[in-house]
Amino acid sequence: MTVSDRRATREAFGATLVELANEGRDDIVALDADLATSTTTAKFAAVFPERFFDVGIAEQNMIAMAAGLASGGKTPFTGSFAVFGTGRAYDQIRNSVCYPDLSVKVCPTHAGITVGPDGGSHQMIEDIALMRVLPNMRVLVPADFTAARAAIRIAAETAGPVYVRLGRAALGPVYADGAGFELGRAQVLRRGTDITLVACGVMVERALAAADALAGEGVSAEVVDAFSIKPLDVATILESAGRTGAVVTCEEHSVIGGMGSAVAEALGEGAPVPMERVGVKDAFGTSGEPEQLMERYGLTSPHIVAAARRVLQRL
């Protein structure tokens, strides 16, 4: 893999909106909160300026405007940084979008600690928890550029609110072009018999690397990409956990309320097995380079391997 093979999931946002509009989706519009270059909605604005609205630094107004556009038959996509696009605008997402079940697509970028030097104030590690608790909201977390393109398309095709979590960090390719994705379906990337690694977003390629390392220790790890966190593919996760008997979840998010919590809820009700959650341990982020922060907060492949060893010792 070369450096040029690595692409941030945010790069798929504006480009995919342009593709959809060129395919005849006249209903699609985009809104941004003074961050169009960073979120890449500027690509859509350059081709369809009459369908793009930069609201300035006013995320609450952006969501309210999107709700109005949706009530008039449009399919609005909103862009901002995740900390602002979900945290600052939470009340509007709850009451103006989810409560009336409007087709607003909340697709902020710069989620997680891989935002890097921007620091803890801009590193959103609570967004999955905030979005998945809302009635009517769906939550998608793509693992690479290809999955991000698919997530934007699924959002466009799905009636009602959808949250797509996008990032700033360049990621290696996990999927080939043309890979199939569905709302509510996880992707089993590697079959295994001894332990299940359930990952999402930037942690998927790290989970695959951890599976390679575990194979060197004689441990067969199954890797599941929880691309759709809400609705969660409970059937796939329970089937995998039932066969392997142990689970480690891996996410660039707080361990409280995120994907790991969703998996724990499913396992608790359907197939209780020993599990550990790899994620940010109830802390804010800090300034640093992305890989330094991933190491500091225990989000690397060796940390996943260590968690797997601990779980297996409990069998």
* Annotated catalytic residue 59: yes
Are 153 and 191 members of one domain? no
Catalytic-labelled residue, pool 11, 59, 126, 251? 59
How many domains, the chain?
Answer: 2
State the DSSP code for 111: B
| Domain limit, last residue, from 120, 137, 171 | 171
Confidence tier at 4 by pLDDT (50, 70, 90): low
Query: What is the model's pLDDT at position 109?
Result: 97
pLDDT of residue 5: 86
Q: What would the two tokens of residue 298 be?
A: 């225990």
Strands (E), the chain: 7-8, 28-32, 52-54, 75-79, 105-106, 138-140, 162-164, 170-171, 187-190, 195-199, 221-225, 228-230, 247-254, 275-280
SS3 169: coil
Instruction: Please report the pLDDT score of residue 2 as a whole number.
Output: 57
Q: What is the pLDDT of residues 54-100, one digit of tens each?
A: 999 999 999 999 999 999 999 999 999 999 999 999 999 999 999 99
Residues 105, 226 within the same domain? no
Range of the domain at 151: 3-171
Task: Round to whole Å and give the CA distance between 69 and 168.
Answer: 28
Whichever domain contains 275, its CATH number is 3.40.50.920
Chain-centroid distance, C-alpha 10: 11
Same domain, 20 and 146: yes
Tokens at 191, concatenated:
């079959």
